[in-house]
Amino acid sequence: MPQKYRRALIIFIIFLLYISFNFAQNYVQYLDLQADLEKLEQKAEQLQEEHLEYKDKLEFAESLEFVEKVAREQLGLVKEGETLLFVIEE
């Protein structure tokens, strides 16, 4: 094999190694980014569920049903016509 072709072959092989290395490096980075994306999507789903729970709690806290519950349980209030009973334990 002439020297000219041997030199071209060596340059071509070095070029292929360089391209292969860059491809492998980019592929590993791609896999890392995919894993990060999956984690972020799971976190977003979890936060969405928490948001809905807090939204439901807020709606209940703003309802008359909640106000009545607090008035009865914490303040001892009763509706008109009701009688409040206290249980005394010995």
- CA distance linking residue 10 with residue 79, whole number of Å: 95
Contact 78, 84 (CB under 8 A): yes
* Domain membership flag for residue 61: yes
* Domain membership flag for residue 79: no
* Domain membership flag for residue 43: yes
Segment 56-77, tens digit of pLDDT: 999 988 998 988 888 888 888 8
Total count of domains within the chain: 1
Contact 28, 22 (CB under 8 A): no
* Domain membership flag for residue 32: yes
* Domain membership flag for residue 37: yes
Segment 18-30, tens digit of pLDDT: 999 999 999 999 9
Res 1 pLDDT > 70: no
**Residue 88 φ/ψ, nearest 5 degrees:** -105, 120
pTM of the model: 0.57
* Domain membership flag for residue 31: yes
Q: Tell me, what's the pLDDT at 47?
A: 98
Note down the domain range covering 12. Answer: 3-73
Mean pLDDT, rounded, of the chain: 91
Q: Tell me, what's the pLDDT at 85?
A: 74
* Domain membership flag for residue 87: no
* Domain membership flag for residue 39: yes
